[in-house]
Amino acid sequence: MLRTHTCGELNKEHIGQTATLCGWVDSIRDFGGVTFIDLRDRYGRTQVVFNPDARSEVIELASKLRNEHVIKVEGIVRQRPDGQFNHKLSTGEIEFVVNDLQVLNECKTPPFVPGQKDVPGEDLRLKHRYLDLRREKMLQTLQLRSRIIKTMRDYCADNDFIDIETPILGRSTPEGARDYLVPSRVFKGKFYALPQSPQIYKQIMMIAGYDRYIQVARCFRDEDLRADRQPEFTQLDLEMSFVDSDDVIGMIDGLMKRLAKDILGLDIQLPLPRLTYDEAMARYGHDAPDLRFGMQIVDCTEIARDCGFGVFKSTAESGNFVRGINASGAASKFSRKRIDELTAIVKDDFGAKGLAWFRCEEDGTLFSPVAKFFSEEHLAEIKSKMDAQPGDLLLFIADTWEVSCKSLYGIRKRMGAELELYDPSQMHFSWIVEFPMFEQVAESDQWSAMHHPFTAPRDQDLKDLDSDPGKTRAKAYDLIINGYEAGGGTIRIHDSGIQQKVFGLLGLDAESAQERFGFLLDALKYGAPPHGGIALGIDRVVMLFAGLDNIRDCIAFPKTQKAYDMMTEAPNLVEPIQLEDLGIKVSKTNANSSP
């Protein structure tokens, strides 16, 4: 080893001892011949001192040090002078007096210094990720990620799960998103697919008798990206046999309790609260609601049906909905200009026709430009239904169920943050259960799977598969943390006949289903146990536990929102011989296009 100690290890117990440290020059301070540097590695920082009585070659070499040079120093540990202790550092009571210095590698002038207070723009940080990863915040986040994954593995090991790896090169199967395809050199014209999830493999493991499986799995989806989504991501994949939904949910309840305690020092009460999908959509307009604050959606359609305001009345009579939220105490904080801004948002972002509003005055009356169209009785009903108090701002959407959900969810989320209705450091865990089994494909009679094609319907809904698939509810459950879907799972279909029927509803005839999923359908006929599981998004869990709002900040080497690696410049062109080996030709238009 080049070093005897790390830069976070020395303390007052080492005073008088000789040691060797290696690390990066974090900062340099020259005080009239005495030079101080902070030497940094991932364990911490140590104050290093170059005295003027050191050897001349050491002093000369020290004068040429620059930020981010990699150096090795040998010397003696001594106590810092009284009054100069730095209690923020584990090494803050000592300093390291250098006898010998070796520059292991110089650093040219960096585009940014990891220790600078102002964080540079993301593009610059991603381009020079090796510098960005030296920032203390990045180090803390990746250390947190490592602790979270270890805790997950330990918890699962304590509960008799077997850690099993599944293939990265598999078969392309329709699972909702586009596959990343890998051409085969041996079987020209044929392709592997990178796994969107190990879904089928883990079901095969259950059929094989491995009743508790986990894997920290890499997954790949070629889809449009967001701040909390990446083309390649990591999930804790878990599957259990002889279980129902409550068993899987209970297992993850225990995991969340341990994570919250071990990582954040929080005690959370179990069982975690649950909402059905229908309740979540009715009360919050979304299947991943942030439950750290109230502001629930209230349906006023029946009141609107008999009122004199044409927009409300016609909406209700056409079978659509008039729904609103009460932004408690927000009347004085939202001027007409700001309300107009909200109106523009619901129109542009969510397709709403407009936004109606009422302000509850000090005397308890409702004021609005449209109040004149309402009778006193109807205004009183609205006030009562919305539980309006003086100073409250009532906001309404009159539109289809879908538009009202999207619009009110968007307003609620925005106002919850702007009005500071919750502590950003607060953690709230909940479950959404009983999702619809299917959703209608736009402008067609075709159904698509709400979760995935292997999801089991509730036992009491099996009859609806034949008569009314849209009524079928699934044995599905999503874990929600602070308004983000942190994981999703289902009980799987373990009967080949039901699986074949579901494939048919999804537009896969018997021949197509056999061609794509024959191996699974065959396996289900060989003693498949009832089974189910869940996949937790590790990147997203880390983001939430770290209090971040961008998933790229908790991944060592993320892609941009265009799925581009700015550091390695991937994807990029390959040599013609490589394409020839694969039997692939690339059009010039695609080959020359830039990310």
Read off the pLDDT band of 257 (50, 70, 90): very high
The pLDDT, as a whole number, for residue 261 is 98
Same domain, 371 and 300: yes
176's CB contacts (< 8 A; 6+ apart) are 196, 448, 449, 452
| Domain-located, residue 535 | yes
Same domain, 345 and 475: no
Same domain, 465 and 553: yes
487's CB contacts (< 8 A; 6+ apart) are 235, 236, 252, 478, 479, 534, 535, 536, 537, 541
| Domain-located, residue 277 | no
The pLDDT, as a whole number, for residue 438 is 92
Pair 323, 281: CB distance under 8 Å: no
The pLDDT, as a whole number, for residue 425 is 87
The pLDDT, as a whole number, for residue 286 is 98
In this prediction, residues 334-354 reach a mean pLDDT of 95
Read off the pLDDT band of 593 (50, 70, 90): low
Task: Please say which residue of 105, 120, 153 terminates a domain.
Answer: 105
The pLDDT, as a whole number, for residue 247 is 98
Does residue 93 surpass a pLDDT of 90?
Answer: yes
Does residue 589 surpass a pLDDT of 70?
Answer: no
Sign of CA pseudo-dihedral 215, 216, 221, 226 = positive
Q: What angle do CA 274, 481, 196 make, to 5 degrees?
A: 100
> Which residue range forms the structural domain that includes residue 352?
293-418
Residue 215's CATH number: 3.30.930.10
pLDDT tens, residue by residue, 30-51: 988 899 999 999 999 999 999 9
Q: Which H or E run includes 136? A: helix 136-158
Q: How far apart are CA 486 and CA 484, in angstroms?
A: 6
Read off the pLDDT band of 396 (50, 70, 90): very high
| Residue with tokens 């940080």, as numbered in its chain | 125
In this prediction, residues 85-113 reach a mean pLDDT of 96
Torsion of the alpha carbons at 176, 182, 184 and 190, rounded to the nearest 10: 30
Same domain, 192 and 264: yes
The pLDDT, as a whole number, for residue 507 is 86
- HSE-CB at 156 with a 13 A cutoff on CA atoms is 26
Q: How far apart are CA 574 and CA 255, in angstroms?
A: 44
Residue 62's CATH number: 2.40.50.140
**pTM score, whole prediction:** 0.93
| Domain-located, residue 280 | no
pLDDT > 90 fraction of the chain, expressed in percent and rounded: 86
In this prediction, residues 466-472 reach a mean pLDDT of 90
Q: How far apart are CA 455 and CA 474, in angstroms?
A: 7
Same domain, 562 and 440: yes
Q: How many residues does the chain have?
A: 595
Does residue 280 surpass a pLDDT of 70?
Answer: yes
Task: Please say which residue of 418, 439, 471 terminates a domain.
Answer: 418
Read off the pLDDT band of 174 (50, 70, 90): low
Same domain, 458 and 507: yes
Does residue 592 surpass a pLDDT of 60?
Answer: no
Sign of CA pseudo-dihedral 68, 69, 72, 76 = negative
Q: How many domains does one find in the chain?
A: 3
Q: Which H or E run includes 367? A: strand 366-367
Say if strands 298-299 and 191-193 run parallel, antiparallel, or are unpaired: unpaired
Does residue 12 surpass a pLDDT of 90?
Answer: yes
- Residue 96: beta bridge partners? 48, 77
In this prediction, residues 584-592 reach a mean pLDDT of 70
CB atoms within 10 A of CB 216: 16
Q: Is 381 exposed, middle or buried (0-12, 13-18, 19+ CB in 10 A)?
A: middle
Q: How far apart are CA 576 and CA 572, in angstroms?
A: 13
Does residue 419 surpass a pLDDT of 70?
Answer: yes
The pLDDT, as a whole number, for residue 227 is 64
The pLDDT, as a whole number, for residue 43 is 97
Q: What angle do CA 280, 383, 423 make, to 5 degrees?
A: 50
Read off the pLDDT band of 587 (50, 70, 90): confident
Pair 388, 366: CB distance under 8 Å: yes
Does residue 368 surpass a pLDDT of 80?
Answer: yes
The pLDDT, as a whole number, for residue 8 is 97
- Tokens representing 358 are 């009422």
Q: What angle do CA 33, 34, 35 make, to 5 degrees?
A: 110
Same domain, 238 and 152: yes
| Domain-located, residue 128 | no
- Residue 321: beta bridge partners? 399
Does residue 569 surpass a pLDDT of 90?
Answer: yes
The pLDDT, as a whole number, for residue 513 is 87
| Domain-located, residue 447 | yes
Same domain, 173 and 240: yes
Does residue 21 surpass a pLDDT of 70?
Answer: yes
In this prediction, residues 10-37 reach a mean pLDDT of 95
The pLDDT, as a whole number, for residue 156 is 98
| Domain-located, residue 282 | no
Q: How far apart are CA 326 and CA 309, in angstroms?
A: 20
Same domain, 436 and 410: no
Q: What share of the chain is helix, strand, coil (3-state, %, to 5)?
A: 35, 25, 40
Same domain, 99 and 79: yes
Does residue 594 surpass a pLDDT of 80?
Answer: no
From first CA to last CA, the distance across the chain in angstroms is 43
| Domain-located, residue 19 | yes
| Domain-located, residue 337 | yes
Q: How far apart are CA 140 and CA 133, in angstroms?
A: 10
Same domain, 452 and 413: no
- Tokens representing 197 are 């999830």
- Tokens representing 215 are 């894997």
250 or 82, which is more confident? 250
Same domain, 396 and 435: no
Task: Please say which residue of 105, 123, 156 terminates a domain.
Answer: 105
Name the average pLDDT for the chain: 94
In this prediction, residues 564-593 reach a mean pLDDT of 85
The pLDDT, as a whole number, for residue 313 is 96
Pair 37, 26: CB distance under 8 Å: yes
98's CB contacts (< 8 A; 6+ apart) are 48, 49, 50, 51, 54, 58, 62, 73, 74, 75
User: What's the farthest any 2 CA atoms get from each other in the chain?
Assistant: 94
